Amino acid sequence: MSFIDYSAGILIGVSSGIACYKSIEVIRELQKRGYKNIETVLTKNTVNFLSPNLFEAITGKKPYIEVFEEGRLLSHIKAVEDKKVFAIVPATANIIGKLANGIADDFLTTCYLAFKGKTLIFPSMNANMYEHSATKRNLFQLQEDGCYVVSPEEGYLACGYEGKGRLPDIETIADYIELFLHIKDSETFKQFITINLLEEDKPKPKPKDPLAGKKVLITSGGTVEPIDSVRVITNRSSGTMGKELAKMFSFLGAKVTVITGNHTARYPAYADVIEVKTVEEMYREVAVKFDESDIVIMAAAVSDFKVKNYSSKKIKKKSNLTLELEKTIDILETLGKTKKHQVLIGFAAETDNLLENGEDKLKRKNADLIVANTVGENKGFGDRNLSGYFIFKDGRKEEFSLSKPETAERIAEIVAREFFNG
Ligand code: CTP
C-alpha cells in the first residue's frame, strides 16, 4: 500500500509580495507531482497583482479572499478543515507580523488561527525588510509557535536590491511542501531543512557596552588657590584630557561625573559636571562621590601648595612679598588609602626620570594604573601629543605616544579590558 497521499489537502496562502506570481507555478508543480486537492487563499492586496480568476482556473476552486463573502460565510473554518498543510507562498513582512501577533483581520490570517495542522512559511521581501529586527523577531516567534520557516535565498531581488529575500525556486518550494505533507511528526521536518533559518539568522545577542552601569569620576582642569581677594595660584591646565576621558568612558557606556577646576575645554553635554576652585573643594566633592564610583581618574592638575596666610584683603604693593606656602591634601594618595572596589588611575607629569617617578607614584598612591607622561617647555599642557608609559600594578609597562583623544581612548580601553573584561 502506498503511503503517498495525493489527496491530502493543501492550502496555499498568497500574500502580496512581488514574488506572488510564483505561487501559481508552485501550484502547477504540485499538480504535476499528482496533488489535486489544492485550494488558495489570497490577501486583498494580492488581488492587485494577480486576478483571482487565475487561481480559480488553475485549481478549479474559487480562491478565498473576503471573510464576508456571500454564500461562503464562516468558510475560513471550512477552508482549513480538510487541509494537512497550510503553505504561505510568499509571506510578506506584514503577514509575518500579523501571524506572529495573532492578528486575524482577513481571510488568510483567520485561516492561520483556525488551522490545527502545521504551517509552512516562505518569506520573501526586500533584503532590508528581511534583516529588520522586527521581521526576525516575528519569524522566530512563528517558529516558537510551531510554524516552519523556510528562509529566503540570496540574490537579485525584484525591488532592485541584492541580498537575502528571494523566494526559493519553484521546485524547491514544492519539495518542501510535499515533504511536509508526508512527515507525521513535524519535528522530523527540521532535519531536512537545509535552507531553514540558519544560526546566523538568529537574532544576534545584543552588543554590550563594556562599561555600562559603571560610574566614573574624573577630576579635570586646574585647581585655583587664592593668595588674597584678587590674586590666585593656578596652572595652565585646559581640562582637555578630562574632557576626552569623559567622552571616551561615556562611549564605552559608563556614567561620567567630572569634577573640574579652571578649564577652557567644553565637557560633553551628557557628563555631570561639578565646578570647584581649590584643592580642598575638589577633595570634598570627590569624597562625596567616591563610595559610589567604580573608576576614579585623577586627571586634574592639582596644586601641590596653597598660601598659608590667605589675606581676605588685597595685599598692597609696599615691598617685596614672600608667600609662605603649605602642602595641599594629596587627593589621589588619600583615596588610595581608603579605596575598596574602585579602580584608581593617576597621572604622573614628569620632566625627568619618567618611569622611576611614575612607578614611585603608583606605589605611593596605591593606584591601579599610572599614566606617566613627559612634560617640558613644549610638552604636556595644551600640547596635542603625549608620550610616556602606562604603568600597571603588576609591573607591566606600555609605551605610548598619542594625541590626547587617543590617549584617553587607550585609557578607557585598558580599563575596560583589564578591570571589567571588556
Ligand atoms: N594629585 C592629587 N592631589 C595632589 C597632587 C596630585 O590627587 N595634591 C594627583 C594628580 O591629579 C595626578 C597624580 O596625583 O593624578 C600625580 O600628580 P603629580 O603632580 O604628577 O605628582 P605629585 O604627587 O604632585 O608629585 P610631584 O609634584 O613631586 O611630581
Q: Whose CA is nearest to atom 6 of ligand 1?
A: 302
pLDDT, tens digit (0-9, with 9 covering 90-100), for 234-274: 999 999 999 999 999 999 999 999 999 999 999 999 999 99
Say whether the peptide bond before residue 90 is cis (omega within 30 degrees of 0). yes
Determine the average pLDDT of the residues in 212-238. 96
Residues with CB under 6 A from ligand 1: 279, 298, 300, 302, 304, 328, 330-332, 346-349, 361
Answer yes or no: same fold for 9-201 and 215-420.
Answer: yes
Per-residue confidence (pLDDT) for residue 202, from 0 to 100: 61
**How many angstroms separate the alpha carbon of residue 287 from the centre of ligand 1?**
17
Per-residue confidence (pLDDT) for residue 198, from 0 to 100: 47
- With the most atoms of ligand 1 within 8 angstroms of its CB, the residue from 330, 334, 344 to mutate is 330
Least confident of 35-49, 129-143, 215-229, 342-356: 129-143
159 is catalytic: yes
**How many angstroms separate the alpha carbon of residue 371 from the centre of ligand 1?**
12
Determine the average pLDDT of the residues in 120-136. 92
Task: Supply the CATH classification number for the domain 9-201.
Answer: 3.40.50.1950
Per-residue confidence (pLDDT) for residue 1, from 0 to 100: 67
Determine the average pLDDT of the residues in 179-187. 80
Q: Single out the catalytic residue among 20, 111, 147, 159.
A: 159
**How many angstroms separate the alpha carbon of residue 54 from the centre of ligand 1?**
85
> Does residue 195 surpass a pLDDT of 50?
no
% of the chain at pLDDT higher than 90? 74
Per-residue confidence (pLDDT) for residue 372, from 0 to 100: 97
pLDDT, tens digit (0-9, with 9 covering 90-100), for 165-179: 899 999 999 999 998
> Does residue 211 surpass a pLDDT of 90?
yes
Task: Supply the CATH classification number for the domain 215-420.
Answer: 3.40.50.10300
- With the most atoms of ligand 1 within 8 angstroms of its CB, the residue from 304, 342, 359 to mutate is 304
> Does residue 288 surpass a pLDDT of 50?
yes
Query: 321 falls in which pLDDT band (50, 70, 90)?
Result: confident
| Average pLDDT of every residue of the chain | 91
> Domain ranges in the chain?
9-201, 215-420
pTM, rounded to two decimals? 0.66
**How many angstroms separate the alpha carbon of residue 343 from the centre of ligand 1?**
17
% of the chain at pLDDT higher than 70? 94
Determine the average pLDDT of the residues in 325-344. 97
- With the most atoms of ligand 1 within 8 angstroms of its CB, the residue from 234, 332, 333 to mutate is 332
